[in-house]
Amino acid sequence: MKATAVAPANIAFIKYWGKKDDLLRLPANGSISMNLDKCLTTTTVEFDKKYKKDSFKMIGGKVSIKECRRVSDYLSRFRMMAKSKLFAKVVSKNSFPRSSGAASSASGFAALSLAASSALGLNLSEKELSILARLGSGSACRSVPSGFVEWLEGDSNNTSYAHSLYPPGYWDLLDILVIFSGEMKKTTTTEGHKASRETSLFYSLRVEKAKELLGKLKKAFIKKDFESAGKIIESDCINMHSVMMTTTPPLFYWSPKTLGLIKKVYEWRDEGIRVYFTIDAGVNVHLICKEKTGREVVKKLEETAGIERIIINKPAVGAQTINQHLF
């Protein structure tokens, strides 16, 4: 009863920030994302009677007791569905730095939901898997379907899930993830979603605006209108961070390096380079451009100080099972 799955992290173009139901992780607004082909989590799960409790290991990383408990509680959902009492061994590995601003919880829970359900012989649909991934970590539901993905806001457990808007090959966009050196530890998103809803002056305003921008981004996708898409992506990113910064206590995810790069992006655009930025709950910056602009952007980044590494992502397929197990 062993299975292995690979799932990509995703970058949100219209963000999810704030829930209307904390327990079910129902988002306050729908969101749109792109799966990242170089930011992958691989997870092997084995349920067996030889295990006396659940165990969880990350290859090349440490996991806290809290994280182990979260994984074990999550596995219990699958045990319940399969009417199984077996414990499991879980081993995971990321192809990217864990707190790089490419949400490892998204790829992590998407890979875990597929590996756990496959190991138990549950034959779940993409929609069912997306719902289960959402219950692990909200944005993980978007790492289940392929390519460019929309998470439908929904109003119940069964109506809030992600589906593919377009396959990976639809649009030749790149996400150049810029990772800064000397990065600080971030505030967890679980706490942040709630604090912003309860305390930010701009919370409701941003949710309404995000719904409007989501409609506009879908239209830009239909026309493959990169300028419009880029402006919308940046706009929702700034709106979300405004909400974060006006939360009590304030959530400043940006560092001086983050802001420095934002200013550079504006300069580069003035020079005619078509590149836009977006940032999740961390200091690192995702630069969105078309494939043909990638080389120019990388050259500019090479001339920029303070960068530890960059990861150039193309749109990726969603969660998949594979035959090579991690143990």
Check: CB of residue 130 under 8 Å from CB of residue 119: no
Of 139, 164, 239, 284, which one interacts with ligand PMV (CB under 6 A)? Answer: 139
**What is the biggest distance separating any 2 CA atoms in the chain, rounded to whole angstroms?**
63
Is 108 one of the binding residues for ligand PMV (CB under 6 A)? no
Restricting to residues 172-201, which ones interact with ligand PMV according to CB under 6 A? 189-190
Is 138 one of the binding residues for ligand PMV (CB under 6 A)? yes
In angstroms, what is the minimal distance from the CB of 254 to ligand PMV?
Answer: 12
| Residue from 289, 101, 77, 270 nearest 179 by CA | 101
CB of 133 or CB of 261, closer to ligand PMV: 133
Distance between CA atoms of residues 139 and 157, nearest Å:
15
Restricting to residues 265-294, which ones interact with ligand PMV according to CB under 6 A? 280-281
Check: CB of residue 148 under 8 Å from CB of residue 221: yes
Number of residues that bind ligand PMV (CB under 6 A): 15
- Structure-block tokens of residue 161: 């899930």
DSSP string, 10-58: EEEEE----EEETTTTEESS-EEEEEEEEEEEEEEEEEETT-SS-EEEE
Stretch that binds ligand PMV, among 14-22, 41-49, 155-163, 178-186 (CB under 6 A): 14-22
Of 15, 70, 257, 300, which one interacts with ligand PMV (CB under 6 A)? Answer: 15
Is 107 one of the binding residues for ligand PMV (CB under 6 A)? no
Stretch that binds ligand PMV, among 10-18, 81-89, 177-185, 195-203 (CB under 6 A): 10-18
Distance between CA atoms of residues 30 and 211, nearest Å:
7
Of 137, 196, 235, 293, which one interacts with ligand PMV (CB under 6 A)? Answer: 137
Of 3, 8, 28, 31, which one interacts with ligand PMV (CB under 6 A)? Answer: 31
Distance between CA atoms of residues 227 and 275, nearest Å:
9
Q: Cβ neighbours of residue 119 under 8 Å, at least 6 residues apart?
A: 1, 2, 3, 45, 46, 47, 88
CB of 15 or CB of 257, closer to ligand PMV: 15
Stretch that binds ligand PMV, among 13-21, 211-219, 259-267, 284-292 (CB under 6 A): 13-21
Is 105 one of the binding residues for ligand PMV (CB under 6 A)? yes
3-class SS of residue 152:
coil
Antiparallel, parallel or unpaired: β 55-58 and 19-21: unpaired
Of 5, 9, 12, 289, which one interacts with ligand PMV (CB under 6 A)? Answer: 12
Which residues form the interface with ligand PMV (CB under 6 A)? 12, 15-17, 31, 103, 105-106, 137-139, 189-190, 280-281
